[in-house]
Amino acid sequence: MSIQPIRLFGDPVLVTPSLPVVDFDKELRVLVSDLTETMLDAPGAGLAAPQIGVPLRVFVWDIDEALGHLINPTLDLSEDLQEGEEGCLSFPELRYSTPRAFRVVAKGWNMYGEPISVEGTELLARALQHETDHLDGVLFIDRLTKEDRKSAMKEIRESEWFGLRQQSGLSAEIRVSPHYTFDKGL
Q: What is the nearest approach in angstroms of Zn ion to the Cβ of residue 48? A: 7
Of 88 and 174, which has the nearer Cβ to Zn ion?
Answer: 88
Regarding 186 and contact with Zn ion (CB under 5 A), the answer is yes
Regarding 31 and contact with Zn ion (CB under 5 A), the answer is no
What value, to the nearest 5°, has the Cα angle with vertex 95 and ends 90 and 99?
105
The Cα 184–Cα 82 span in angstroms is 16
Regarding 8 and contact with Zn ion (CB under 5 A), the answer is no
Task: Return phi, psi of residue 64, to 5°.
Answer: 55, 40
Regarding 152 and contact with Zn ion (CB under 5 A), the answer is no
The Cα 65–Cα 179 span in angstroms is 23
Residue type, 57: R
Marked catalytic residue, from 83, 86, 114, 131: 131
Residue nearest to Zn ion (CB): 88
Burial of residue 153 (number of CB atoms within 10 Å: 0-12, 13-18, 19+): middle
Site for Zn ion in 65-104 (CB under 5 A): 88
Query: Is 131 in the active site?
Result: yes
Of 72 and 129, which has the nearer Cβ to Zn ion?
Answer: 129
Regarding 128 and contact with Zn ion (CB under 5 A), the answer is no
Regarding 13 and contact with Zn ion (CB under 5 A), the answer is no
DSSP 33-70: HHHHHHHHHTT-SEEEGGGGT--BSEEEEEETTEEEEE
Q: What is the nearest approach in angstroms of Zn ion to the Cβ of residue 25? A: 26
Of 28 and 48, which has the nearer Cβ to Zn ion?
Answer: 48
- Please give the positions annotated as active site: 131
Q: What does the binding site for Zn ion look like in residue numbers (CB under 5 A)?
A: 88, 186
